[in-house]
Amino acid sequence: MDQRTVRFPNARWSWTLMTAREDTGMPRVRSGGTARLLQGFIVYSLHPENGQQKMFYRVDESELLTLQDGLYPFDDEQEKHMLSCMDRCRTALQGFCMLIGEVALTFLSQMEELEWKLEELEGRMKRSNDSKVLDEIMDLQYEVLDWHRILQPLEEFHAAAKGWAEDSPCHEYDNNELLLQRLHSRLNRYRTELDILLNIDNNIATYRGNEIMKTLTVFSVICTPATVFGSIWGMNFKNMPELELPFGYALAISAIVLLTLSVYFWMHWKGWTGDLLKGKNKDSNIV
């Protein structure tokens, strides 16, 4: 187990950070009679292969202990800036709120990638709403669900530390509250946009299905006279007077065409054909 302990000269607390190896787990930590104690975990990273990376924490009035199960969440520049800010904190709670603030700021920047995906999907959906759009919408919905799970531990800590922060005013706690509101505002906006895109896709799919069914129905009705005459004159009875008529073929063709046109104009007069025979606009969003 890798361990580093940071003691801040201007503060009245120390920070111990440990990185667990594969064969170690979360150590059992006792409160030691401290008046206040908060412990749990936060998710600080989404690794494409290993999934969520968690940081377990234990914070009381004088010490902050963290244990992470993956890569160190901050690079050298981030750590230098964070330690400089934490050095001005007077309590361990303030220091941990400062750390959570850095994590929340990282989340804000990472969410921009999701926003770019949404903008690209909206543009491509407007240009051509093919079958792949629904798959991408579902993928983004799962990504939003992952973000919701990531933010849940931050909300739990924020709610648990509320009374503690009220007794000893903590500016960092108030800043984190604003950051969490921003994160939730973005997440709700993404969720709303995805719901709208999904509704649009469902409406377009329903419209296309209705158009297909209407087209098949109109086509079947218009072709009914030809089907009826073909069925009658396709019989093999001996006594069929029409077979002896000298102009029987021309008469049959004329009857079929006349009745077919009559059915079509009757349906058009009733308004049942709609715009099936009209050309679609090339700029249409539903073709």
Q: Kind and range of the H or E element at 16?
A: strand 14-19
Grouping H, G, I as helix, E, B as strand and the rest as coil, residue 195 is helix
The percentage of residues in the chain with a pLDDT greater than 90, rounded to a whole number, is 5
CA 190 to chain centre: 7
What mean pLDDT is reported for the chain?
Answer: 77
Task: Answer yes or no: are the C-beta atoms of 229 and 255 closer than 8 Å.
Answer: yes
Contacts of 64 (CB under 8 A, 6+ apart): 13, 14, 15, 16, 57, 58, 92, 95, 96, 99
Question: Rounded distance, CA 148 to CA 190, Å?
Answer: 11
Element at 39 (helix H, strand E): strand 37-47
pLDDT interval class at 216 (50, 70, 90): confident
Over residues 103-128, the pLDDT tens digits come to 888 888 888 888 898 888 888 888 77
Evaluate if residue 62 carries a pLDDT over 60.
Answer: yes
Residue 189's pLDDT is what? 92
Do the Cβ atoms of 151 and 187 come closer than 8 Å? Answer: yes
What residues have CB less than 8 Å from 256, skipping those under 6 apart? 225, 226, 229
What's the predicted TM-score (pTM) here?
0.68
What is the model's pLDDT at position 247? 79
Give the model's pLDDT for residue 70.
60
Q: What is the mean pLDDT of residues 187-198?
A: 90
Q: What's the whole-number mean pLDDT along residues 3-25?
A: 58
pLDDT tier at 27, thresholds 50, 70, 90: very low
* Whole-number Å distance between alpha carbons of 88 and 177: 20
Structure tokens at 103: 């994590």
Q: Which residue has the higher pLDDT, 241 or 72?
A: 241
Residue 75 or residue 37, greater confidence: 37
Q: 37-41, 164-168, 200-204, 275-279: which has the minimum mean pLDDT?
A: 275-279
Q: Which residue has the higher pLDDT, 270 or 29?
A: 270
At residue 208, φ and ψ (nearest 5 deg) are: -65, -40
Residue 61 has pLDDT above 60, yes or no: yes
On the question of pLDDT at 95 being above 70, the answer is: yes
pLDDT reading at 182 higher than 70: yes
